[in-house]
A = this chain, B = another copy of it.
Amino acid sequence: MSDDEPDTDQTFHHAERFSRARAAQAVALLEDYAEMIGDLMAEAGEARVADIAARMGVTHPTATKAVARLKREGLAVSRPYRGVFLTEAGQTLADHVRARHRIVVDLLIAVGVPTETAELDAEGLEHHVSTQTLAAFKQYLDTSRRGD
């Protein structure tokens, strides 16, 4: 360092940012599982562990564990050997996540990312898009659609 207390402020900002990113990551998986279960419920009326596992690209036990986490968080309910269902809160979360996903994909496409790539990247990106950024995306899509 070049000064006496050269990085106290900046250091704090950095740490803040990384903490936020870590926190976002913590809920990302739950969001994905909730959205997936929402999709399956919409398509088939119920979500079975095997389907969840297949779509998430994980093994059955991993899906089961994830469901347990969802239940613990009050986002899903299930009885042993029965399908999994979202609670009201879970459904709300799923809807929110799905909407956000669409906006992120649309924005990527709008700035010139190929559709296929946009879908791929959005899966990872979406969890780190804050409310403010999402709002900015929405507005950009609106005006750009009008403007074109």
Binding site for B on A (CB under 8 A): 1-2, 6-7, 10-11, 14-21, 24-25, 32, 36, 43-44, 51, 54-58, 107-108, 111-114, 117-121, 123-125, 127-130, 132-133, 136-137, 139-140
Set of chain B residues within 8 Å of A114, measured between Cβ atoms: 132, 136
Copies of the polypeptide in the assembly: 2
The 3 closest A-B pairs by CB, nearest first: A15-B57, A124-B128, A21-B124
Residues of chain B within 8 A of A51, CB atoms compared = 7, 11
- Chain B: which residue is nearest A125 at the CB level? B128
Question: How many Å lie between the Cα of A53 and that of B57 in the bound state?
Answer: 34
Q: Inside 8 A of A54's CB, which chain B residues have their CB?
A: 7, 11, 15
Q: Is the interface of A mostly helix, strand, loop or mixed?
A: helix
Contact in complex: A43, B2 (CB < 8 Å)? yes
State which of B44, B111, B123, B136 has its C-beta within 8 Å of the C-beta of A136: B111
Q: Offer 19 A-B interface pairs, CB within 8 angstroms, sorted by A.
A: A7-B55, A14-B57, A15-B56, A18-B56, A20-B120, A20-B124, A21-B124, A25-B25, A108-B136, A111-B111, A114-B136, A117-B130, A117-B132, A118-B133, A120-B130, A121-B129, A123-B128, A125-B129, A128-B128
